[in-house]
Amino acid sequence: MKKIIYSEQSRKNGLQLIIAAEKGDVETVKSLLKKDVYIHAQDKEGRCAIVAAAYGNRLEIADLLIAAGADINMKDNTLQSAYLIPTIEGYTDMLKKTLKAGADIHSTDSDNGTGLIRASDRGHVEIIKELLKTDIRVNHVNRMGWTALLEAVILGDGGKRHTEVVRLLVDAGADVSLADKDGVTPLEHAKNKKYTDIIKILER
């Protein structure tokens, strides 16, 4: 395959594209996309334009960049992608766009955590619902030895949102017997924290 060589001006326009995407400057993004622009240019933080758009939840700009061929799975220096960012920030519409654009749902962050694990930690119910429509691995274990279910119990507050996350995960086939590195199960963690409603779900 012939390697494509991008001009210096194309790369400069690409860096301007990142700035415009971050600011939410739709007109500048439209203008730059009509020029010779390297859409996958990265700044010092490793962010490309689609990643910058995701950080700011810039939906219209994300649409423009995706239509122009932006790689939805590119990551910055911290291993965040336009798909992973909304899973922790709770940007449901942005997540839907990235999934439709072909996001790698098995992609992981610097802790080897999937989008499902990240969303479970934060109690993002709508994000969880969208991810469970895919074939994402419900029982994936991150670098700390935690599954999405363990994250929801250990890092959650036991309130309504995290309780619903636990219910969704269990209904989706989460293994309630998978323990952390110390051998403590989700149920044991829930009992230690006195999360009554979560205990009922796990005992069921």
Where do the domains of the chain lie?
A: 7-104, 111-204
Residue 5 has what pLDDT? Answer: 59
140 DSSP assignment: -
Question: Which residue is listed with tokens 């990235």?
Answer: 98
Residue 8 has what pLDDT? Answer: 86
CATH for the 111-204 domain, from 3.50.50.60, 3.40.50.261, 1.25.40.20, 3.30.565.10: 1.25.40.20
Matching fold, domains 7-104 and 111-204:
yes
Which residue, 138, 152, 164, 137, is CA-closest to 190? 152
Exposure string (b/e) for 179-204, b if CB count within 10 Å is 16 or more? bbeeeebbbbbbbeeebebbbebbee
pLDDT in tens, 69-96: 999 999 999 999 999 999 999 999 999 9
Residue 7 has what pLDDT? Answer: 85
- Calculate the average pLDDT of the chain: 96
pLDDT in tens, 34-45: 999 999 999 999
Residue 122 has what pLDDT? Answer: 97
Average pLDDT over residues 92-115: 97
Residue 1 has what pLDDT? Answer: 44
Residue 184 has what pLDDT? Answer: 97
Q: What percent of the chain has pLDDT over 90?
A: 94
Residue 4 has what pLDDT? Answer: 55
pLDDT in tens, 4-27: 557 888 889 999 999 999 999 999
Fold type of domain 7-104: 1.25.40
Chain center to CA of 118: 7
Give the angle subtended at the CA of 112 by the CAs of 201 and 141, to the nearest 5°. Answer: 35
pLDDT band at 134 (very low <50, low <70, confident <90, very high): very high
Q: What percent of the chain has pLDDT over 70?
A: 98
